[in-house]
Amino acid sequence: MHLPFGEISLDQRDLATLPVTSAQVLIVENKINLLTLPAVDRGLALGGLGAAALRL
């Protein structure tokens, strides 16, 4: 995705505008798990969603 930063926080509306065509997506339970993930090439991690994960 060639983003110029290692991490970012976006709301759902802004997340939907990212030009992602191919990525490894990981959904984690909480922000602590999210913030301790190692970097993954072409990786996109979503976390801290709680029950909102069902809306994905």
Q: What tens digit of pLDDT does each residue of 4-13 get?
A: 887 888 888 8
> Does residue 43 or residue 3 have the better pLDDT?
43
Could you give the 3-state DSSP secondary structure of residue 13?
helix
Residue 20 has pLDDT above 80, yes or no: yes
* Cβ-contact 51, 31 below 8 angstroms: no
Residue 37: which region, alpha, beta or left (left: phi > 0; alpha: psi -120 to 50)? beta
Distance of CA 6 to the CA centre of its chain: 11
